[in-house]
Chains A and B, each alone.
Chain A
Amino acid sequence: MLKDIFGKKKRYATIPGEQAKQDIPEGLMIKCQSCHKIYYRKEMHKNLGVCPNCDFHHQLNAWERIDSLFDEGTFVEWDKNLISNNPLGFPGYEEKLEKDRKKTGLNEGVVTGTGLIEGERVAFSVMDAGFRMGSMGSVVGEKIARAIERAREEALPYIIFTASGGARMQEGVLSLMQMSKTSIALKRHSEAGNLIISVMTHPTTGGVTASFASLGDYNFAEPRALIGFAGRRIIEQTTRERLPDDFQTAEFLLKHGQLDQVIHRHQMKQTLGTLLKLHRKGASQL
C-alpha cells in the first residue's frame, strides 16, 4: 500500500533518469505526473507545483509548503533537533533514517513552528512525504503534540498539513500510540476554545487519517489527493467489492460528507487567511 502510493511516482522536484535519456537537461525540466507535459522546473515551481495544463497538484515538500503559505520571513521553526531512536532494534532502520535525512535535509518527517498567514499568527505543522513516506514515528508524534501544546499555551490557532503513508512500521506500537498522544493534545487545545484546521494533501492514509488529520474544526483537502483509512488493495482483497474510480479521493470524501471543502492550492493561503480572521479572538464580540 505504502509502496503503491510512493513507489510509482517520483516527486516533481527530482528528474527521473528515464527523462534524462530523452535529452532533457537534468534539473531544468520536469514532467507532469498526470498529463506528462513537460515544463520548465522554474515555471512549475512558480505555479506551486500545480500543472499549468491539467491542474494536477504535485506533492510539495515541507519547506515548499511553508513558502507557499506564510508571509515572507515570518516562519520560525520549533523542535528541529528531535531525532528518532530505534526503539525496537529494528534491523536497518537507522540507515534508512540517515538516508532520508540526507535526501530531504530534514531531521524527521514533520516540520513544526509558528508564523503569519495573511498577517494572522498560527502554530503550524507540515508533514513531508519524502521522509520515510511521511510515516508517523515517535518524533513525528512528539513534534506535533508539542506544537499543539504550545498553540494551546499561547492560544494560537493550530493548522496541520498532512501527507503520510500512516504508521512507521519500524517503531511498532510506539507509532500507534502517537495517534492517541496527538489526539489528546488536540482535545486539550480544543477544550480551551482554540481553532484547529486540518488540510489533507496527497497522500494521507492509515493512522494519520485516523487521528489528527480528521480532527479539525474544519477538515480540508487538496484536489485529487488520496485520503483513506485502509489501503485500496486490502479492501479489494478482503471484500471483493468493486471500488469506484474516484474511491478515496478528496472529491469522493467531499461527496460522502467527510470534508468541509476541497481547496485549490492557488486559493489555499487566502482561504486560510479569511478563515483565521473569522476566528480571531473576540471577533464575535464586536
Chain B
Amino acid sequence: MKHVLEFERPIVHLKEKIAELKEITKDSEIDLDNEIKTLERKLACLEDDVYGHLKPWERVQVARHPERPTTLDYIKYLFTDFMEFHGDRRFGDDAAIVTGIAFYKDRPVTIIGHQRGKNTKENIRRNFGMPHPEGYRKALRHMKQAEKFNRPVICFIDTKGADPGKGSEERGQSEAIARNLMEMGGLKVPIICIVIGEGGSGGALALGVGDKIYMLENSTYSVISPEGAAALLWKDANLAQRAAETMKITAHDLKELAVIDEIIPEPKGGAHRHIEEQAKAIDQVIESSLKELQSLSVEELLEKRWEKYKTIGDYDIKED
C-alpha cells in the first residue's frame, strides 16, 4: 500500500508485524505459526471492523484516494474498442471530461466521464477533474450524437465541482451546466450515471441526469464539499469532518434520501484495492439496467425519467 489513510494505520501496523514474524521464521528454527495465525485472525477482524463501519469523513478520504480508479481505468475493464473523441467545436477541448464510444459487450455505447489525474502533472493538464464550459458542451455534443445513433449513454461522475474561474464565467459555466440538465432530461436514449468518486455539486450533476443513478459504496455526492460547508456554516473549514456527517453525502445517505437507485459495493478497503473486482460489480449494474431500459419505448423512458426527478424532495402542505 503506497498511500495510507489515517484510519488504516492500525491495519498497516498489524500487517507489518505479521510480515516481520514471517521473516523471522524464514531464517530460523523458531516456530511462530500459532502466533502468526492468531495475528492473521486478528487482522481479518480488524479489517472487517474498520472497513465495515467507515464514517462519512473516512469515506470522503477513500473517495479522494490518490490511487482511486478513474473513468479511463474503468473503461479498460468494461468496454472494448474504445475511441476517444475531442472538442466542443466552439472553443476547445477540455481534458477534465473524456468522451467517446465503444462496445459494451456487443452493443455500441457512448461513454462520458469526468477525468482526474493521478499525479500533479496530469492533474494540472486535466484541471483536477474540474470541467470548463467547453467540457460540458463536448459532453452534450456526444449525448446528441448518441441520440442520433440510438446508443445508450453511460456517465462516470468524479469531480470536486465545475471549474471556478474567470474564463469559465465569461464562457457561460452556468449556461453550460443548465443546458446539460435540460437536454439530458429529454434525451431519447437510456442514460446510466455512476458516481465513482466525488460527486461535487452542479459540476457533477451536469453529467448526472439519467434513468439510473448509482453510487460506489465509498463515493460521495453533495451540494458543496465538506470543507466548503464547514466554512460557510460554521466559519471554520476544519470542521469538515462534522460537515461530512451533517450534510448527508454518502451513498447510504443518498439511498435513504431516495436520490439514487442502488449502491454498488466496493472491495474491502475501497475500489483502488481491487479494480478488476470493482469493474465487475459495475458491469453487473450496467448490464441489468440496460436490459431493463431497452425494453421501454422512448415515451415510457422519458416519462419515467421525469417521474424519477419529479418526486425528489421533501415538503409538507400547511393547512390554512
> Do residues B179 and A256 form an inter-chain contact, with CB atoms below 8 A?
no
With a cutoff of 8 Å between Cβ atoms, the chain A residues found around residue B249 in the complex are 172-173
Contact residues in A for B164 (Cβ distance below 8 Å):
229-231, 234-235, 238-239
Asked if B32 CB lies within 8 Å of chain A CBs, one says: no
B223 touches A169 (CB 8 A): yes
- Name the interface residues of B279-320: CB closer than 8 Å to any CB of A: 305-306, 309-310, 312-320
Q: Per-position contact with B for A143-185: 1 when CB-CB < 8 Å, else 0?
A: 0010000000000000000000001010111111111110111
Inter-chain contacts of B246 with A (CB < 8 A): 88, 90-91
A72 → chain B closest CB, angstroms? 25
CA distance A91 to B249 in the complex (A): 16
Whole-angstrom CA separation of A243 from B257 in the bound complex: 39
The residue from B170, B186, B201, B313 contacting A141, defined by CB atoms under 8 A apart = B313
Nearest chain-A residue to B165 (Cβ)? A239
Known: A167-B224, A177-B309, A235-B164. A213 touches B316 (CB 8 A): no
Contact in complex: B309, A210 (CB < 8 Å): no
How far does the alpha carbon of A180 sit from the alpha carbon of B233 in the complex, in Å?
Answer: 25
Are B165 and A247 in contact, with the CB atoms below 8 A?
Answer: no
Known contacts A82-B315, A184-B181, A229-B168: A145-B310 contact under CB 8 Å: yes
Q: Which residue of B lies closest to A227 (CB)?
A: B174
Residues of A within 8 A of B313 (CB): 138-139, 141-142, 174, 177-178, 181
Q: Is the CB of A258 within 8 A of B224?
A: no
Q: Which of chain B's residues has its CB closest to A107's CB?
A: B318
Are B173 and A230 in touch, CB under 8 angstroms? Answer: yes
**Interchain CB contact under 8 A, A184 and B182:** yes
Residues 177-195 of A, flagged 1 when their CB comes within 8 A of B and 0 if not, give 1111101111110110000
User: In the complex, A180 Cα to B308 Cα: how many Å?
Assistant: 10
Query: Using Cβ atoms and an 8 Å threshold, which residues of chain B touch A188?
Result: 185-186, 306
Closest to B199 in A: A173
A206 partner residues in chain B, CB cutoff 8 A: 202
Q: Say what secondary structure dominates the interface of chain A.
A: helix
In the complex, A83 has a CB within 8 A of chain B: yes
Q: Are the CB atoms of B174 and A209 closer together than 8 Å? A: yes
What are the interface flags for B161-175 relative to A under an 8 Å C-beta threshold, 1 for contact and 0 otherwise? 010111011111111
Q: Evaluate contact between B183 and A210: CB separation under 8 angstroms.
A: no
Across the interface, do A83 and B312 meet the contact criterion of CB distance under 8 Å?
Answer: no
Taken together as a complex, chains A and B put the C-alpha atoms of A180 and B209 apart, in Å, by: 7
A185 vs B229: C-alpha distance when bound (angstroms): 29
User: Chain B residues near A180 (CB, 8 Å)?
Assistant: 181, 185, 205, 208-209, 309, 312
Q: Which residues of chain B (139-172) have a CB below 8 Å from chain A?
A: 162, 164-166, 168-172
A229 — which chain B residues lie within 8 A by C-beta?
162, 164, 168-169, 173-174, 177, 202
The 7 closest A-B pairs by CB, nearest first: A184-B185, A230-B164, A138-B313, A183-B181, A87-B314, A209-B174, A214-B178
Interface residues of A (CB under 8 A from B): 1-2, 81-85, 87-88, 90-91, 107, 138-139, 141-142, 145, 167, 169, 171-181, 183-188, 190-191, 206-207, 209-215, 227-231, 234-235, 238-239, 241, 243, 247-248, 256-258
15 contacts between A and B (CB under 8 A): A1-B232, A81-B317, A81-B319, A82-B315, A83-B315, A88-B246, A169-B223, A173-B248, A173-B249, A173-B257, A174-B314, A179-B181, A183-B182, A210-B162, A258-B172
